[in-house]
Amino acid sequence: MAATRMTLVAALNEALRSVLASDPKTLVMGEDVGRLGGVFRVTDGLQKDFGEGRVMDTPLAESGIVGTAIGLALRGYRPIVEIQFDGFVFPGYDQIVTQLAKMHARSRGRVRLPVVIRIPYGGGIGAVEHHSESPEALFAHVAGVRVMSPATPSDAYWMLREAVRCDDPVIFFEPKRRYYDKGEVDVDPAAGERQPPAHTARVVRPGRDLTLAAYGPMVRTCLDAAEVAAEEGHDLEVVDLRSISPVDFATVERSVRRTGRLVVAHEAPVFFGAGAEIAAHVAEHCFYHLSAPVLRVGAYHTPYPPSRLEEEYLPGIDRVLDAVDQALAH
Amino acid sequence: MSGDGIRLLTPEGERVPHPDYPFDPAPEELRALYRDMALARRVDAEGVTLQRQGELGLWPSLLGQEAAQVGSVRALREGDRVFPSYREHAVALGRGVDPLALMRLFRGVDHGAWDPDAHDFHLYTLVIGSQTLHATGYACGMAKDGADAAVIAYFGDGATSQGDVSEAFNFAAVWDAPIVFFCQNNQWAISEPNERQTRVPLHQRAQGFGFPGVRVDGNDVLAVQAVTRAALDHARSGRGPFLIEAFTYRMGAHTTSDDPSRYRDAAEVESWRAKDPLLRLERLLRREGAADDAFFAEVAVAGEALAARVREGVRAMASPAPEEMFDHVYAEAHAGVDRERAAFAAYQASFAEEG
Ligand SMILES: Cc1ncc(C[n+]2csc(CCOP(=O)(O)OP(=O)(O)O)c2C)c(N)n1
Ligand SMILES: [Mg+2]
């Protein structure tokens, strides 16, 4: 089957549709996911096609949503939970951190909780408070949940399918400002065979002079930055990390050993962010290959500002290139 | 009691006395209620328009909920404290908050930076249900201080599903906190109707926590004011919390981002149009000769003037200086923020140098 061009939202919808069709134990649950199809329409039409028993509008309570998803998983179901916005996952954070993440280890492997928690995240859409946050580090810090974030429609499709298939809980961060980006998606199972596993990173632009590592919404920003840098004669490599827990350090190391320079970019605040973990790892393992300190680009240690300031708050092409220039100056 | 709750005024604008809630406002009070509702409706309509024109990022309309909000805020005394959700624009106006302060939030200029103490009106809370706990704690503090005052906490029907709200009910009950929980049941939580949130009428929840709860016709401004006044008296007199379920309807979309045609019937909306809160008070005013055409014309003119002020104010609203995002993150100096502020300033300056 040929690839089709579709938005990231449509790709997620197709992925949900395919898992609902193929595995009767899968369930979609969350606020407004039924009739409305979710506030971003990711679940559009699913309740109509699979019924209210498979696609469930829940009461407005995130702790309840995550907690009951855990119970359903204990009973053999594979719940795919939608949290409406990044800033609203926190009533469910207790259930994620103290229950979902630990059950497998506590039971010495007897209890598996294949729960996927989908969270639209990140800023750049001019939204009000609590609708633009990037809390991935708060989840990556928790052992027992996997954390991933696709950057393209194709990855959205295949990574979500893999997240559902995974026997561990997965926090699936969806880059909401890229929701309406279009890309080729080949939904043929044979294409699935060719997909790299979701926990691996991918070099999405090869280059010699410096490695830019990013995930989710920042991948496109980094690719755009690399285009600009190319005009100035700098050949940047862009690595899409895709998975934040685990991090595919091998791919990052391989890249850094060739380029000798690394800039890590994310929308989340730099302070105690994912970039810190990657920078520390690379310093520990690639020290003698580095020609410059590893630099991080991200947001500031402030609450997400009112939307009129988000352009200054979020790292854009300019801030990425500024870090690139600093690293290349060494 | 009708299914719509305690009622003092029928949709046709006829008074129906209620033994527990005697209330006979003077003509000028009735006119003031009407005026408040009409002005709030006009500001709200302007919010929707300004969002359509790209001047605001979002606007959650209160259309249809004017009586619930105006009736309840008018029942408050000075010194009573309000903890709103995010749709309580008429309550805000009733507490003297400038409509432009609300617009600043929805324009993305600030996060709602009015002075809560100056208005006894806390900041809007967007995380559903959270404020009911803050309200309960505040009420507890009032009681400890021996204040002759009470708190009113606003939240929606959907919010009643949140753990925080049940916890607030229980804390308030156990502590005998002087608080009125004011639930605007507008029948919808975005696309989810009441039946997705609850199996019992919401006011009955209170019983399980050990305090009284009543349903009031939320489109009847007289009933809302009378019931809220009684509930506040109950709370102030040390008898603990009180739950009011104001039975009303969200006539518009959830917010300007929402398309309700995807999930609800136009016929349902139409059936509620007949219960319009302004129309029924207008009918009463005319029936009793308490207001004439000139009055309604004058209110309309005042509404247009207010809308014009809001429109011009919003259009003239400048964005804050970017470095302001580093202000007030902490009350005391924080080396990390200071370092980042300095780095940000240097980065900004580098563009100026480049010219
Ligand atoms: C904790 C949390 N979860 C989800 C949301 C997204 N959300 C915003 S409004 C809303 C529905 C609220 O319904 P209701 O409480 O009835 O208030 P209404 O909007 O009808 O005034 C939802 C789900 C949120 N703001 N906070
Ligand atoms: Mg509601």
Residues paired with B152 in a beta bridge: B82, B180
In this prediction, residue B1 has a pLDDT band, given cuts at 50, 70 and 90, of: very low
Helix, strand, or coil (residue B222): helix
What one-letter code names the amino acid at B106? F
d(CA A315, nearest CA chain B) in Å: 12
Computed over its alpha carbons, how large is the radius of gyration of chain A?
A: 19
Kindly report the backbone phi and psi dihedral angles of residue B225, in degrees, each rounded to the nearest multiple of 5, phi listed first: -65, -45
Residues paired with A29 in a beta bridge: A56, A81
B322-334 residue pLDDT tens: 999 999 999 999 9
Cβ neighbour number for residue A34 with a 10 Å cutoff? 24
Mean pLDDT of the region A290-304: 98
Residue A316 has pLDDT above 70, yes or no: yes
* Contact flag B319-A128 (C-beta cutoff 8 Å): no
Residue B354 has pLDDT above 90, yes or no: no
In this prediction, residue A223 has a pLDDT band, given cuts at 50, 70 and 90, of: very high
- Residue showing tokens 């509930």: B231
Using a CB–CB cut-off of 8 Å, the residues of A that contact B are 31-32, 34-37, 39, 57-61, 63-64, 87-88, 90-91, 126-130, 271, 300-303, 305-310, 312-313, 319, 322
Mean pLDDT of the region A134-160: 98
Residue in A29, A35, A63, A84 to alter for ligand 1 test, most ligand atoms within 8 A of Cβ: A84
Using a CB-CB cut-off of 8 Å, the residues of chain A touching B109 are: 306, 308
In this prediction, residue B355 has a pLDDT band, given cuts at 50, 70 and 90, of: low
B41-68 residue pLDDT tens: 999 999 999 999 999 999 999 999 999 9
Distance (Å) from CA B43 to ligand 2 centroid: 20
Residue among B214, B179, B213, B184 at smallest CA distance from B76: B179
For chain B, the straight-line distance linking the first and the last C-alpha, in angstroms and rounded, comes to 72
d(CA B136, nearest CA chain A) in Å: 18
d(CA A323, nearest CA chain B) in Å: 11
In this prediction, residue B295 has a pLDDT band, given cuts at 50, 70 and 90, of: very high
**Residue in B closest to A30 by C-alpha:** B192
Distance (Å) from CA A295 to ligand 1 centroid: 39
B128 lines ligand 1 (CB under 6 A): yes
What is the 3-class SS of B184-198, one letter each residue?
A: EECCEECCEEHHHCC
Nearest CA to ligand 1 atom 13: B189
pLDDT of residue B353: 74
Q: Please tell me what DSSP assigns to residue B274.
A: T
Rounded Cα distance between B250 and B264, Å, is: 11
- Burial (CB < 10 A; 0-12, 13-18, 19+), residue B204, is middle
**Residue in A closest to B192 by C-alpha:** A32
Rounded Cα distance between B56 and B87, Å, is: 15
The H-assigned helical ranges of B25-161 are 27-52, 66-74, 89-94, 99-107, 116-119, 130-145
Of A34, A306, A312, the CB nearest to B108: A306
pLDDT above 90 covers what percent of chain A? 99
Range with lowest mean pLDDT among A31-40, A43-52, B2-11, B125-134: B2-11
Residue in B130, B190, B198 to alter for ligand 1 test, most ligand atoms within 8 A of Cβ: B190
Pick the atom of ligand 1 nearest to B197's CA. Answer: 16
Which H/E stretch holds residue B182? strand B179-185
Mean pLDDT of the region A254-283: 98
In this prediction, residue B352 has a pLDDT band, given cuts at 50, 70 and 90, of: confident
Whether residue B85 contacts residue B124, with contact meaning beta carbons closer than 8 Å, is answered with: yes
- Residue showing tokens 């009684």: B230
Whether residue B73 contacts residue B119, with contact meaning beta carbons closer than 8 Å, is answered with: no
In this prediction, residue B86 has a pLDDT band, given cuts at 50, 70 and 90, of: very high
Threshold 0.90, pTM exceeds: yes
Structural domain boundaries of chain B?
27-320, 322-355
What CATH class is the domain A4-193?
Answer: alpha beta
In this prediction, residue A1 has a pLDDT band, given cuts at 50, 70 and 90, of: low
Residue among B92, B42, B54, B64 at smallest CA distance from B296: B42
Mean pLDDT of the region A80-98: 98
d(CA B32, nearest CA chain A) in Å: 33
Using a CB-CB cut-off of 8 Å, the residues of chain A touching B257 are: 39
B240-276 residue pLDDT tens: 999 999 999 999 999 999 999 999 999 999 999 999 9
ipTM of the prediction: 0.96
Question: Which residues touch B89 (CB under 8 Å, ≥6 apart)?
Answer: B40, B43, B44, B47, B62, B69, B99, B102
A202-329 CATH choice from 3.30.230.70, 3.40.50.720, 3.40.309.10, 3.40.50.920: 3.40.50.920
Q: Is the dihedral of CA B162, A114, A189, A178 positive or negative?
A: positive
Structural domain boundaries of chain A?
4-193, 202-329
Question: Which residues touch A170 (CB under 8 Å, ≥6 apart)?
Answer: A115, A116, A117, A145, A146, A147, A148, A163
Q: Does B196 touch chain A (CB under 8 A)?
A: yes
Using a CB-CB cut-off of 8 Å, the residues of chain B touching A127 are: 57-58
On the CB side of B300, how many CA atoms lie within 13 Å of its CA? 7
Whether residue B221 contacts residue B33, with contact meaning beta carbons closer than 8 Å, is answered with: yes
Residue among B295, B235, B252, B220 at smallest CA distance from B66: B220
Using a CB-CB cut-off of 8 Å, the residues of chain B touching A313 are: 325
- Burial (CB < 10 A; 0-12, 13-18, 19+), residue A194, is exposed
Among A104, A131, A281, A289, the active-site one is A131
Pick the atom of ligand 1 nearest to B185's CA. Answer: 16
pLDDT of residue B3: 87
B99-146 residue pLDDT tens: 999 999 999 999 999 999 999 999 999 999 999 999 999 999 999 999
For chain A, the straight-line distance linking the first and the last C-alpha, in angstroms and rounded, comes to 49
Residues around ligand 2, an ion, CB closer than 5 A: B 156-157, 186, 189
Considering the domain B27-320, what is its CATH architecture?
3-Layer(aba) Sandwich (3.40)
Whether residue B8 contacts residue B23, with contact meaning beta carbons closer than 8 Å, is answered with: yes
Mean pLDDT of the region A87-103: 98
pLDDT of residue B196: 96
- Residue A114, both tokens: 């294949």
